[in-house]
Amino acid sequence: LLTAAHCLICNSFENIKVELRNGVRMNVMEILIHPDYERNCSSEEQTSRENDIALVRLDEEIQDV
């Protein structure tokens, strides 16, 4: 799953669920944030929008999308 890094950077993946349009919720197995993305988790402000990208690996394959 491709998403914006600022949505994930300050959260542990154990606290994140992905909900599909059909209402199915899936667990996150791994989050890979672009290595050059910069964000200060102690502040709500994002330092830059550059490299604001992340991949989310789910614990199972998405079906019927």
Q: Compute the distance between CA of residue 31 and CA of residue 34 in angstroms, rounded to an integer.
A: 10
Instruction: Reduce the DSSP state of residue 15 to 3 states and report it.
Output: helix
pLDDT of residue 9: 67
Number of Cβ atoms within 10 Å of the Cβ of 46: 16
Q: What is the pLDDT of residues 25-41, one digit of tens each?
A: 999 999 999 999 887 77
pLDDT of residue 57: 94
Closest to 3 (Cα-Cα) out of 42, 56, 45, 46: 56
Query: 4 burial class (0-12, 13-18, 19+ CB within 10 angstroms)?
Result: middle
* Whole-model pTM over 0.85: no
